[in-house]
């Protein structure tokens, strides 16, 4: 508190504190933990700070890409529909990512995670918002009638009806994923939950960088180039977290990691490899055929979707890199016969039993 002494030059009140004495109060009650307070900046490995700096330097804006040019490009109705379908499905992953990382970020602040890790997670959230925005442009400029959302349009032709139905089923599964993710936070510590993070980031880096080279239209070449750079930064962050937490994992948690990796593969395969219907992805008959037709149309339209053989090779090389990292810590890598990788046989039936891939 201050006292007004007099009006100084220019009419401003001058303050005096000469009558005040400092007081030392009793310490406040301890803050119940976990809590974002008291605020501190626990220093971590330098890599976390350099990745944070890199994220700032590599920032980009999806709105700067030549979307207008894409909107005016001559494509067949099927090709444009295929591209809109593909971005709608990508939205299951990229539109869930901002809340997924926001949730994780809050947990990290509450548990006083290293400052650099928290900062990097905030930039990952920001990156994912960009990816989501790209899904919005890609979807709205491609689906009939430029709808406000991937399901807010009236399908007329047989292929449009197939696309609409597939998107609806995809989004139904996306909702199951989100519920499972929120529940899993109550059951598992963050470092265990985020074990499939590395797998998803490595796969996404590889697949998107190849897509940027295969894409026929500059908007997609540019977009996938930026996305793969983002994902490669995320992969380096994920690798740091794995290397930090794996040496002290219990055997039970190591087994959980193996299952998480398999779950992550099945989860991400939907968009970057091929759909695997089952208990994990609940999909109706005909879904896969519709998907293949639409994906083929998207590829013909210049989206940059890789051939099945190239996707398989890309996954195989990405997964072998992850396998090498994981096995160094005495963690078994799951069998992925779909891409010719042998390993531990694990069953990952459900999104609801805590198997929550993050990428």
- List residues near Fe ion by CB under 5 A: 94, 128, 131, 201, 231, 234
Place of tokens 């499905």: 89
We find the least distance from the C-beta atom of residue 233 to Fe ion, in angstroms, to be 8
What would the two tokens of residue 224 be? 């996938």
Residue closer to Fe ion by CB (options 80, 234) is 234
Place of tokens 């037709």: 293
Q: At what angle do helices 197-214 and 218-245 cross, to 10 degrees?
A: 160
We find the least distance from the C-beta atom of residue 262 to Fe ion, in angstroms, to be 19
How many other C-beta atoms are found inside a 10 Å radius of the C-beta of residue 75? 18
Sign of CA dihedral 66, 69, 75, 81: positive
Residue closer to Fe ion by CB (options 92, 297) is 92
Among the listed residues 324, 355, 319, the one whose alpha carbon sits nearest the alpha carbon of residue 207: 319
DSSP 247: G
What would the two tokens of residue 226 be? 């930026």
We find the least distance from the C-beta atom of residue 93 to Fe ion, in angstroms, to be 7
We find the least distance from the C-beta atom of residue 47 to Fe ion, in angstroms, to be 17
How close are the terminal C-alpha atoms of the chain, in Å? 51
Residue closer to Fe ion by CB (options 96, 293) is 96
CA dist 232 and 222 (Å) reads 16
Residue closer to Fe ion by CB (options 181, 287) is 181
Residue closer to Fe ion by CB (options 75, 135) is 135
Instruction: Find out whether 168 and 287 touch, Cβ atoms under 8 Å.
Output: no
Q: Report, in this order, helix, strand and coil percent for the chain, each rounded to 5.
A: 65, 5, 35
Residue closer to Fe ion by CB (options 228, 290) is 228
We find the least distance from the C-beta atom of residue 311 to Fe ion, in angstroms, to be 17
Instruction: Find out whether 159 and 78 touch, Cβ atoms under 8 Å.
Output: yes
We find the least distance from the C-beta atom of residue 298 to Fe ion, in angstroms, to be 18
We find the least distance from the C-beta atom of residue 320 to Fe ion, in angstroms, to be 20
φ/ψ of 6, rounded to 5, equals -165, 170
We find the least distance from the C-beta atom of residue 96 to Fe ion, in angstroms, to be 10
How many other C-beta atoms are found inside a 10 Å radius of the C-beta of residue 229? 18
Residue closer to Fe ion by CB (options 269, 290) is 269
Residue closer to Fe ion by CB (options 112, 236) is 236
Q: What is the DSSP string of 66-130?
A: -HHHHHHS---HHHHHHHHHHHHHHHHHHTTHHHHHHHHHHHHHHTT--HHHHHHHHHHHHHHHH
Residue closer to Fe ion by CB (options 81, 124) is 124
We find the least distance from the C-beta atom of residue 268 to Fe ion, in angstroms, to be 10
């Amino acid at each position: 508190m201050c006292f007004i002494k007099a009006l100084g030059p220019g009419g401003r009140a001058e303050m005096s504190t000469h009558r005040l004495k400092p007081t030392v109060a009793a310490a406040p009650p301890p803050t119940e933990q976990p809590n974002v307070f008291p605020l501190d900046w626990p220093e971590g490995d330098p890599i976390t700070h350099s990745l944070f700096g890199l994220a700032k330097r590599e920032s980009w804006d999806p709105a700067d890409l030549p979307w207008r040019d894409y909107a005016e490009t001559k494509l067949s109705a099927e090709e444009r529909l295929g591209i809109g379908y593909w971005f709608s499905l990508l939205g299951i992953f990229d539109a869930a990512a901002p809340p997924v990382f926001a949730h994780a970020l809050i947990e990290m602040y509450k548990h006083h995670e290293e400052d650099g890790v928290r900062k990097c997670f905030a930039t990952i959230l920001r990156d994912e918002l960009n990816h989501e925005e790209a899904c919005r442009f890609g979807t709205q400029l491609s689906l009939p009638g430029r709808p406000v959302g991937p399901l807010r349009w009236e399908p007329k032709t047989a292929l449009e009806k197939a696309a609409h139905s597939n998107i609806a089923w995809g989004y139904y599964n996306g909702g199951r994923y989100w519920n499972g993710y929120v529940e899993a936070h109550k059951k598992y510590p963050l470092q265990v939950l985020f074990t499939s993070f590395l797998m998803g980031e490595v796969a996404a880096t590889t697949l998107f960088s190849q897509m940027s080279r295969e894409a026929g239209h500059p908007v997609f070449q540019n977009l996938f180039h930026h996305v793969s750079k983002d994902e490669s930064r995320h992969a380096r962050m994920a690798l740091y977290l794995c290397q930090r937490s794996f040496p002290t994992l219990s055997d039970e948690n190591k087994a959980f990691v193996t299952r998480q990796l398999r779950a992550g593969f099945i989860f991400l395969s939907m968009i970057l490899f091929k759909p695997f219907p089952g208990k994990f992805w609940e999909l109706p008959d005909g879904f896969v055929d519709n998907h293949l037709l639409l994906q083929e149309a998207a590829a013909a339209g210049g989206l940059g979707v890789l051939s099945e053989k190239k996707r398989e090779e890309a996954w195989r090389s990405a997964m072998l890199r992850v396998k090498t990292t994981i096995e160094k810590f005495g963690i078994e890598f799951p069998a992925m016969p779909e891409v010719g990788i042998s390993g531990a046989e694990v069953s990952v039936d459900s999104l609801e039993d805590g198997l929550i891939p993050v990428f």
